[in-house]
């Protein structure tokens, strides 16, 4: 397995084209747009980093491109956080807290429904004076 780590859009696109020369111009444009958005975004203070206590730490965005022996290219949008204990890497969805939000969404919907049911039962049990 080979790994490429890039910190700007030009290098990322060059590595992407080098690993996938047959990619269409549309795929290249989409990759460049997504890479540019990731590299420009400031993850400092993001929800996911605040959840693990690194909300005020400095962050550096990078793109990791992996190629396996069967020529499969995997692209990871990473955030490296300068913590007091050293550097830690997070996927961009982890840094934003998106993965935790998705996991908790089902539980939140169930809680809302349970509260509605309790409220409905309380209203049914109230005496009505006219």
| Residue that has been written with the tokens 């939140």 in this structure | 108
In angstroms, the CA 90 to CA 84 distance is 16
Q: 6 and 15 in contact (C-beta within 8 Å)?
A: yes
Q: 90 and 48 in contact (C-beta within 8 Å)?
A: yes
> What are the tens digits of pLDDT across the range 22-62?
999 999 999 999 999 999 999 998 888 888 888 899 999 99
Q: What are phi and psi of 71, to 5 degrees?
A: 65, 30
Nearest residue to 7 via CA among 73, 72, 74, 80 = 80
> What are the tens digits of pLDDT across the range 58-77?
999 999 998 887 778 888 89
In angstroms, the CA 122 to CA 119 distance is 5
């Amino acid at each position: 397995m080979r790994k490429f780590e890039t910190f700007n859009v030009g290098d990322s696109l060059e590595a992407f084209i080098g690993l996938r020369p047959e990619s269409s111009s549309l795929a290249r444009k989409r990759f460049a747009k997504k890479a540019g958005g990731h590299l420009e975004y400031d993850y400092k203070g993001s929800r996911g980093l605040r959840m693990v206590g690194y909300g005020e730490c400095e962050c550096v965005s990078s793109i990791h491109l992996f190629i396996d022996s069967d020529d499969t290219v995997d692209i990871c949008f990473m955030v490296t956080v300068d913590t007091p204990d050293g550097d830690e890497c997070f996927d961009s969805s982890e840094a934003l807290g998106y993965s935790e939000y998705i996991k908790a969404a089902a539980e939140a919907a169930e809680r809302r429904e349970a509260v509605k049911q309790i409220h409905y039962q309380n209203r049914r049990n109230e005496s009505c004076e006219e």
